[in-house]
Structure 1
Amino acid sequence: MKRISALGASALLCSSTLFATELSETLQSQDVFDLEYAADLNITNDGSEVYFIRHYMDIHSDKKLGNIWKVTQNGELTPVTTGKHQQYGMALSPDNKRLAYISSESGNPQIHMQWLETGATGQMTNLTTAPSRLTWSADGKYLAFQMFVPEKATPPVSLPGKPEGAEWAEPAIYIDDVYYRFDGGGYTKPGYTQIFLLSAQGGTPRQLTFDEFNNNGAMSWSQDGKQLYFSANRHQNFRLEPVNTDIYRYELASGEISAVTDRNGPDNQPSVSPDGRYLAYLGYDDRGTNYENTQVYVRDLSSGKTQSLTADLDRSVDSLHWDGSSRGLYIQYDDQGKTRVAYQPLKGKAKQLTDKLGGQSYGRPYTSSEFDVASDGTVTFTYSAPDRPADVGLHTGGKDIQLTHLNDDALGHKTLAKVEEFWFKSSADGRDIQGWIAYPPGFDKDKKYPMVLEIHGGPVTAYGPHFAAEIQLYAAAGYVVVYINPRGSSSYGEEFAQTIHLNYPSQDYDDLMSAVDTVIDKGFIDERELFVTGGSGGGVLSAWIVGHTDRFKAAVVAKPVINWYSFVLTSDFYPYFYKYWFAAKPWEDLEGYMQRSPISYVGNVTTPTMLLTGEADYRTPISESEQYYQALKLQGVETAMVRIPDAPHGIYKRPSNLMSKVEYILWWFEQYRDERPVKN
């Protein structure tokens, strides 16, 4: 393995400083602990104030914590809660006089309340498991919420003959459920998510549902408080049909549950109109493809007549909010890497309001955002910029206003990468593909730079012009960073996303290589210094690339799928993957699975390739990385494996894990660098 002599043992995990002009001027990996971002936005009825959770990274506990803050239209910030806690969600009462929120202040997540006029606070519950989805009744008298209710498990075997005081091994664990472990949650316990009712005055919560279904979707009250609408998968085969959710109505007086929708496909996010006449929700008909556009449906609750408001919108709607007059809805959707909010009337065409949403996925530049709407139509949203994580923004009077500047103190004195959009045509079929270039600080177009191709996961997700600590850190280390949305990405319409249906990896490889060639043609890339990395679906494509070309000096394959056969049979969400990503079960189409598996092309690999995965990753289990690592060893390819202890698929859940990921990737690339940037 080639090594750079200037790198001593003490510097191996500090490679991000190699090309920095000054430590204080460019972003360093430890700076991730200084980042903050806004989430859980709640705007008051008159639009004058926005409550939000101000998330921050606690360097002592290595966790993301947060407190509730308030910001006014003139940008005045006030803390609502303080302390080193985790806030899990909040909801303003309909009259805006109380704020209900879930907090770990007492050790375990509990429902708390603050009376906003007096500032008085109180813990409202003493629950044994974590509550979620706080939902106020229209009159402000009740809160509905959801909570997992465990069931007692009795093992089928009990060992006889154990003497009193004997220290035997831990008993065997018996598993018979379809879903027995989930990424980020570990091995499951028996039980189901149920709906509860809590008086706004406090007291003992009342359990409303008692069945063997997970009643865990969004909820919305009828205006008279007599019904509660919620989404769930209450079909007998719900374990093997994971996306087939419907909208249900719960009668508070009788406890009767009835289905409002009944079709093959997901129906979710029910929302009753302010006048109580309509029910809006999101959904689509399941055609068994890898992707369908989620549409906005509105049902007249009296007649049952239902219409789609967005049938002509070739984009997938993520969330919705009614206007104050019940004449239309505000909707959010991704379009060409950006997230937009538009107003969709019940009759007529939608009107776009803003495309500046994003910034909540601070590790990589994914589209991730949220919004809320006041009764007067003022929209608050997570404000996105390429050089900042999510702030609180406002759309009012036809203008976008940035209310907070949460990271100016941490990033304002840093020289960050400039992010520039570019379009190009794929060599596969001439298809237009969108991408972005992040230029290293101090970029000089007359120099030659090394390049990192960074590939998103999903695979049906989208990158965009959003802040990403990983991209910024690669650029700070002196690399030009290129990232694109190859075919199969979301935000470009149904046909674009479905190009990879039963065909992934597809011509994504051609899209990615065309992006590399396009940037090289700009004249500032050293063609001898090309590197590639990506996570999840990006790990699949990184491994696919090194199995099909040797043009890259080194690669880091993060949390990949290497063998589709083994992946489908070890991943946590396997009933979905085999059904929507393949035409048959693995043993029914061995050839098809293996043709699409990077392991089938490991014999072609000559590129030095490192594997990096969390040991608690149950989405793309670390056994996938181990397969590739061992195969590369057998092939005599230079390889290494980095295992992140206790990390799930979302490695950046803990800030130090994000640091480890970036530093190891940069260190690996540095082992194969030939020279520093030079003049043309």
Structure 2
Amino acid sequence: AVGADGTGLRPLTHGGLYLFTPRFAADGASVVFCGAELDKNNNSCATASYGLWSVPVDPADGDPARPAVPRRLTGDAHHLSFASQMIQPAADGVYFASDHRGAVNLVLVPYDGGEPRPVVTGRRQVNGYAVAESDEGTTVVAVVASATSAGDLVVWRDGTERVLTPYGAELAERAHLLPMEEFTAYAPDGYPLHAWVVRPEGPGPHPVIFQVKGGPYTQWGYTLNGPAAFDEAQVYARAGYAVVLGNPRGCSGYGQAHGAYVRDDLPRRSATDLLAILDTALDASDLDGDRVGVMGGSFGGYMAAWFNAHHGERFRAMIGERGLYAIDSYAATSDDGADLAVSLYGPDRARWAEQSPLTYVDRMSTPMLLIQSEEDRHCPPEQAQRLFTELKVRGVPVEMLLFPGEGHDMSRTGLPSHRLARFEAVLEWWERHL
């Protein structure tokens, strides 16, 4: 905190937290923010829930050298949504967009840390919002995505909900969207895993695309856009493929323990859950278990390469997009590699090699397409270049598609011409191999 004239600069927190989005509470007596605790080495954990915290503005005992102790207001079940990344203080609490089993709920968290009150819930995702309070009542306006809308503007007032934009209705009328079908899979230890399949029309048996999400601490969910990527599921299903998606342990939306499960061995534990989801989907008679491909971006690309080395016999082909394949060079070249390498894979450099797909390139034999963006600062091109070169010199069928002027989120936010070109390349690859 600092005075408006630049005087009195002093800390409000005492360290030990990875924190962001600080906002003054409505009464100005405290500051609320989101974050997670650091470990004993001041490292963050990439599968920790970003909860809501509060800290008094006034120092402890009136001593500026002694910041007050922050207090977490939300429990393990709440994690600030990747889609929203915002909070808004109000008179009675703080509005907070929370991942929850594929949905993003808008909740009101009391300043005393009591049970959050649901504001916007259901099988949809709140991707942005604003709140206005007056003597006449409270108005909430939000951009809400769902399985039938990439985002509509919705307003709530006096207990009523009103959709202000026609985008979802227009899309449903024009695009003939295929339904998302939920199912539950069980890991070998009996743990339930939440998943979906989007089927093409017709009787089958359909070739299968197993789509692994990024993150890992994100979630597939009820939306056509953003991290959930169901726009992709619709495109591939319309082309004749059954698309399988699921949230293994290590993702957000299912509580802290769900995310923490993979910390000791991210690729192997993730692979076990993911294959359990795929196997359950393949129990359906209209899905062809002999024609299966796997694809994913970022962490999904990492897992596609891991599958090539360790479970290649399960798949006809792979697509790895904007992936991490070698932790050592990733730590040196990524925009947050030095932190993320430790927070995801631990401080032991020997274990970095053990968890890097590139270490096992001599076991890879399944055809692989690598998609990369030239300006990706998060998973830089060198990651794909290293894997491409190693596969090429070993005679493994491999191709690389490099997009100029694009960053890590090209498939979601890139030039429309690039996104169309990417879809065409992906569909051409699957037509050849599935």
Q: What is the TM-score with the length of structure 2 in the denominator?
A: 0.87
The amino acid of 1:312's aligned partner reads G
Contact 2:12–2:56 under 8 Å retained in 1: no
Residues 337 and 616 from structure 1, CA distance in 2 versus in 1: closer, same or farther, beyond 3 angstroms? same
Give the CA deviation at 1:256: 4.1
Q: Deviations over 1:230-249 (max 9, x none)?
A: xxxxxxxxxxxxxxxxxxx2
Give the CA deviation at 1:271: 2.3
2:329 corresponding residue in structure 1: 566
Q: Deviations over 1:359-384 (max 9, x none)?
A: 6xxxxxxxx71222120332221112
Does 2:240 match 1:478?
yes
- 3-state secondary structure, aligned to 1:452: strand
Residues 309 and 594 from structure 1, CA distance in 2 versus in 1: closer, same or farther, beyond 3 angstroms? closer
- In 2: Cα distance, 1:620 partner to 1:310 partner: 34
Q: Deviations over 1:417-473 (max 9, x none)?
A: 21122211013x222111111122xx23x4211111111111211110210322211
- In 2: Cα distance, 1:479 partner to 1:357 partner: 24
Give the CA deviation at 1:581: 2.5
- In 1: Cα distance, 2:140 partner to 2:123 partner: 11
The amino acid of 2:212's aligned partner reads I
Give the CA deviation at 1:668: 0.7
- In 2: Cα distance, 1:280 partner to 1:554 partner: 47
- 3-state secondary structure, aligned to 2:301: helix
Q: Deviations over 1:565-601 (max 9, x none)?
A: 2222222222212332333364xx2xx2221111222
Does 2:77 match 1:314?
yes
Contact 1:357–1:369 under 8 Å retained in 2: no
Give the CA deviation at 1:303: 7.0
The amino acid of 2:89's aligned partner reads W
Question: Which range moves more in the overlay, 492-501 or 267-276?
Answer: 267-276
Give the CA deviation at 1:503: 2.0
Paired residues, number = 407
Give the CA deviation at 1:644: 1.1
- In 2: Cα distance, 1:356 partner to 1:294 partner: 21
Does 2:102 match 1:337?
yes
Does 2:127 match 1:369?
yes
Identity across the alignment (%): 23
Note the 1:598-617 alignment, pairs <5 A. Answer: 598-617=357-376
The amino acid of 1:536's aligned partner reads S
Contact 2:3–2:9 under 8 Å retained in 1: yes
Segments of 4+ in structure 1 off by > 6 A? none
2:46 corresponding residue in structure 1: 290
The amino acid of 2:3's aligned partner reads E
- 3-state secondary structure, aligned to 2:216: coil
| Selected match of 1:454 from 211, 222, 225 | 211
- 3-state secondary structure, aligned to 2:243: strand
Note the 1:13-32 alignment, pairs <5 A. Answer: none
- In 2: Cα distance, 1:489 partner to 1:399 partner: 33
| Selected match of 2:274 from 512, 537, 551 | 512
Note the 1:57-136 alignment, pairs <5 A. Answer: none
- In 2: Cα distance, 1:414 partner to 1:571 partner: 38
Task: Say which structure, 1 or 2, has more relative contact order (CA 8 Å, 6+ apart).
Answer: 1
Contact 2:20–2:34 under 8 Å retained in 1: yes
- In 2: Cα distance, 1:602 partner to 1:502 partner: 22
Contact 2:13–2:70 under 8 Å retained in 1: no
Does 2:303 match 1:541?
yes
Does 2:365 match 1:576?
no
Give the CA deviation at 1:624: 1.6
- In 2: Cα distance, 1:476 partner to 1:435 partner: 20
- 3-state secondary structure, aligned to 2:107: strand
Does 2:185 match 1:424?
yes
Alignment RMSD (CA, Å) = 2.3
- In 2: Cα distance, 1:280 partner to 1:514 partner: 40
The amino acid of 1:659's aligned partner reads L
- In 2: Cα distance, 1:609 partner to 1:295 partner: 38
- 3-state secondary structure, aligned to 1:515: helix
- 3-state secondary structure, aligned to 1:370: strand
Give the CA deviation at 1:321: 2.1
| Selected match of 1:465 from 222, 229, 246 | 222
Give the CA deviation at 1:302: 4.9
Q: Deviations over 1:462-498 (max 9, x none)?
A: 1102103222111111111111111111111111112
Does 2:297 match 1:530?
no
Residues 537 and 631 from structure 1, CA distance in 2 versus in 1: closer, same or farther, beyond 3 angstroms? same
- 3-state secondary structure, aligned to 1:636: coil
1:388 corresponding residue in structure 2: 149
Give the CA deviation at 1:308: 3.3
1:597 corresponding residue in structure 2: 356
Residues 596 and 300 from structure 1, CA distance in 2 versus in 1: closer, same or farther, beyond 3 angstroms? closer
Contact 1:602–1:632 under 8 Å retained in 2: yes
Residues 665 and 274 from structure 1, CA distance in 2 versus in 1: closer, same or farther, beyond 3 angstroms? same
- In 2: Cα distance, 1:613 partner to 1:254 partner: 45
Q: Deviations over 1:626-648 (max 9, x none)?
A: 22222222332222111112221
Q: Deviations over 1:24-48 (max 9, x none)?
A: xxxxxxxxxxxxxxxxxxxxxxxxx
Residues 410 and 490 from structure 1, CA distance in 2 versus in 1: closer, same or farther, beyond 3 angstroms? closer
Does 2:319 match 1:556?
yes
Q: Deviations over 1:32-87 (max 9, x none)?
A: xxxxxxxxxxxxxxxxxxxxxxxxxxxxxxxxxxxxxxxxxxxxxxxxxxxxxxxx
Contact 1:280–1:298 under 8 Å retained in 2: yes
- In 2: Cα distance, 1:531 partner to 1:404 partner: 37
Residues 298 and 568 from structure 1, CA distance in 2 versus in 1: closer, same or farther, beyond 3 angstroms? closer
Give the CA deviation at 1:602: 2.3
Contact 2:128–2:143 under 8 Å retained in 1: yes
- In 1: Cα distance, 2:288 partner to 2:339 partner: 42
The amino acid of 1:490's aligned partner reads S
The amino acid of 2:356's aligned partner reads S
1:438 corresponding residue in structure 2: 198
1:644 corresponding residue in structure 2: 403
1:55 corresponding residue in structure 2: none
- In 2: Cα distance, 1:356 partner to 1:658 partner: 30
The amino acid of 1:636's aligned partner reads G
Contact 2:12–2:57 under 8 Å retained in 1: no
- 3-state secondary structure, aligned to 2:267: coil
Q: Deviations over 1:196-233 (max 9, x none)?
A: xxxxxxxxxxxxxxxxxxxxxxxxxxxxxxxxxxxxxx
- In 1: Cα distance, 2:58 partner to 2:332 partner: 46
Contact 1:438–1:480 under 8 Å retained in 2: yes
Larger helix fraction of residues: 2
Greater Rg, structure 1 or structure 2? 1
Contact 1:539–1:560 under 8 Å retained in 2: yes
The amino acid of 1:371's aligned partner reads Y
Contact 2:47–2:344 under 8 Å retained in 1: no
2:16 corresponding residue in structure 1: 264
The amino acid of 2:197's aligned partner reads I
- In 2: Cα distance, 1:373 partner to 1:397 partner: 13
1:619 corresponding residue in structure 2: 378
Runs of 5+ unmatched residues, structure 2: 61-67, 225-229
Contact 1:436–1:465 under 8 Å retained in 2: no
Runs of 5+ unmatched residues, structure 1: 1-248, 360-367, 674-680
- In 2: Cα distance, 1:257 partner to 1:280 partner: 18
- In 1: Cα distance, 2:295 partner to 2:25 partner: 46
1:353 corresponding residue in structure 2: 119
Residues 577 and 559 from structure 1, CA distance in 2 versus in 1: closer, same or farther, beyond 3 angstroms? same
Contact 2:130–2:142 under 8 Å retained in 1: yes
